[in-house]
Amino acid sequence: MKNLLFSLFFIFFSFTISAQDIDIELITSGFSNPIDIQNAGDDRLFIAEQGGRIKILNPDGTVNPTPFLNISTLVSGGSEQGLLGLAFHPDYASNGYFFVNYTKTNGDTRIARYTVDPSDPDVVLAGSQLTIIEYDQPFGNHNGGGIAFGPDGYLYIATGDGGSGGDPGNRAQNTTLLLGKLLRLNIDIPAGGNNYSIPADNPFFGSSSQAQEIWAYGLRNPWRFSFDSENGDLWIGDVGQGDWEEIDKAGLTEAGINYGWRCYEGNMPYNTTGCPPVGDLTFPIAEYSSGPGSPHCSITGGIVYRGTAQPTLIGHYFFGDVCSGMIGSIAPDGTLTDHGTFGGSWVGFGVDINQELYVLSHGGNFNRVVEVVVAGVSDFDTAQITMVPNPASEVIAISIENDRIQSIRITDMKGSTLFSEDKLTSEKDINIGGYESGLYLVNIVTENGNSTTKKLLIE
């Protein structure tokens, strides 16, 4: 269990200056309530839409007019219902299998396997649906939705606690039920009359009273989760009840973890009646507020970036918020950074065959996440330039050794210029007392033409 006092210490220092900044680039738009991005091991991307369609986005930016899959007549509507998740089998290139998570017309969940048409890689083989598992949903919300294959080759399924508010049936803590859990199935070996079997290292394997499908429990609504492609770590974005959005992390072999819902929302007690000892729970690696006065409302778990085109992003876990449009990240050292709002209702992250990172807005936009280079290309020693104090609240002092300052420009994270001055000097004091709290960029150009950008945190 992560020590609770350490968690509170982490929260205090969570929104800090990071070593990288990001932006998003619009690739294409026009999708209808998209919710998931996946690749099948080639240069296409598959965009799942909540209404029941999966569309193919080609490398040239075009979208095939015929959907890859259309199960719109099989899915239920509603704010948290529909087609909710997509995963391709690790051996998709040879077997053509992929899996979907959707709510049926009666609102219950079905995980089903489909097969690509052997004669056409852009459409599904008609009549190929095979139901893997189904389970009841007592309410229309908190259906989970994410599905993914782990590095171990097993299929993981995020179920959600079954809905309503506050988990009235305490389903997430009940290990006889599948709700409020992360399930783990071997879908390659059917057994016991099911189209799956239970891996022998599942925590309740062989139990006659516990649900053997369970891998982890105590989750509220883990809409999106993912595995780090480098080390197999599991990352879960679990949507909060009303005050805290949480990010959970575990090693690939850590089985039977209880993440604490409904006993705790994030690190804070919620309903501890009948709960296990706090020492039996695993608390979030990070969280952020979505309580009264906050623009945030619902976390969308993301992905650890392992591509190569954005080197400053490598090893950072990216996530988003549905309401505020915030995109955040967790650095390898555990620092959580709010990169600001980007105008989208973020519902899904995904990567292409090269592990480059993309994010979907529920409004229909498909975007790529890119780094923002905040240092000028130069060979000079940036340590020559100092900017103190940082963080600051009233005045900053900028000075340079062995050169002179030609210009200084301060911009906010949206690119608006708040201060600009051209003056040859070796030092400059700037009054920033009227600026709002947050992160700013300070660009400094020297007389010799060198340029650097420093980050300034205003308290």
- Contact between residue 270 and residue 241 where contact means Cβ atoms under 8 Å apart: yes
- Contact between residue 400 and residue 415 where contact means Cβ atoms under 8 Å apart: no
The HSE-up count of residue 374 (CA atoms within 13 Å, CB side) is: 26
Report percent pLDDT > 90 for the chain.
Answer: 78
Predicted TM-score (pTM) of the model is 0.80
Residue type, 70: N
User: Residue 332 phi/psi, 5° resolution?
Assistant: -55, -25
Q: Give the confidence band of 217 by pLDDT, cuts at 50, 70, 90.
A: very high
- Model pLDDT, residue 374: 54
Cα gap 398→349, rounded to integer Å: 39
Q: Rounded mean pLDDT of 257-275?
A: 97
Query: pLDDT digits over 8-62, tens only?
Result: 333 333 333 333 589 999 999 999 999 999 999 999 999 999 999 999 999 999 9
Of the given ranges (191-200, 315-324, 347-356, 412-421), which has the lowest mean pLDDT?
Answer: 412-421
Label residue 63 exposed, middle or buried (CB < 10 Å: 0-12, 13-18, 19+): middle
- Choose between 184 and 439: higher pLDDT: 184
Round the average pLDDT of the chain to a whole number and report it: 91
Q: Which are the contacts of 316, defined by CB distance < 8 A and separation ≥ 6?
A: 20, 304, 305, 329, 330, 331, 332
- Contact between residue 456 and residue 440 where contact means Cβ atoms under 8 Å apart: yes
For the beta carbon of residue 331, count every other beta carbon within 10 angstroms.
16
> Residue 219: is its pLDDT beyond 70?
yes
**SS3 state at 311:** helix
For the beta carbon of residue 251, count every other beta carbon within 10 angstroms.
12
- Contact between residue 411 and residue 453 where contact means Cβ atoms under 8 Å apart: no
- Choose between 257 and 382: higher pLDDT: 257
> Residue 69: is its pLDDT beyond 70?
yes
Q: Rounded mean pLDDT of 111-135?
A: 98
Of the given ranges (25-34, 287-296, 324-333, 410-419), which has the lowest mean pLDDT?
Answer: 410-419
For the beta carbon of residue 436, count every other beta carbon within 10 angstroms.
8
> Residue 258: is its pLDDT beyond 70?
yes
Name, of 11-25, 210-224, 363-377, 438-452, the range with top average pLDDT. 210-224
- Model pLDDT, residue 5: 32
Of the given ranges (284-288, 289-293, 372-376), which has the lowest mean pLDDT?
Answer: 372-376
Cα gap 370→458, rounded to integer Å: 25
Cα gap 348→85, rounded to integer Å: 10
> Residue 172: is its pLDDT beyond 50?
yes
Query: pLDDT digits over 92-104, tens only?
Result: 999 999 999 999 9
**Residue-wise over 23-57: b if at least 16 C-beta within 10 A, else e?**
bbeeeeeebebbbbbbbbeeebbbbbbbbbbbbbb
Query: pLDDT digits over 140-150, tens only?
Result: 999 999 999 99
Cα gap 203→218, rounded to integer Å: 14
- Model pLDDT, residue 382: 57
Cα gap 76→439, rounded to integer Å: 43
Cα gap 279→6, rounded to integer Å: 14
> Terminal CA-to-CA distance of the chain, rounded, Å?
32
Q: Which residue, chain included where needed, has tokens 């390898």?
A: 332
Tokens of 248: 């959970």
- Model pLDDT, residue 15: 39
List the domains of the chain with CATH numbers: 22-371 (2.120.10.30), 385-458 (2.60.40.1930)
Q: Give the confidence band of 438 by pLDDT, cuts at 50, 70, 90.
A: confident
Q: Rounded mean pLDDT of 409-435?
A: 82
Helices of type H across 50-201: 92-95
- Model pLDDT, residue 413: 57
- Model pLDDT, residue 36: 98
Q: Rounded mean pLDDT of 152-163?
A: 98
**Residue-wise over 112-139: b if at least 16 C-beta within 10 A, else e?**
bbbbbeeeeeebbeeeebeebbebebeb
Cα dihedral sign for 63, 64, 66, 72?
negative
Query: pLDDT digits over 334-387, tens only?
Result: 889 999 999 999 999 999 999 999 999 999 999 999 998 654 434 455 557 889
- Model pLDDT, residue 381: 59
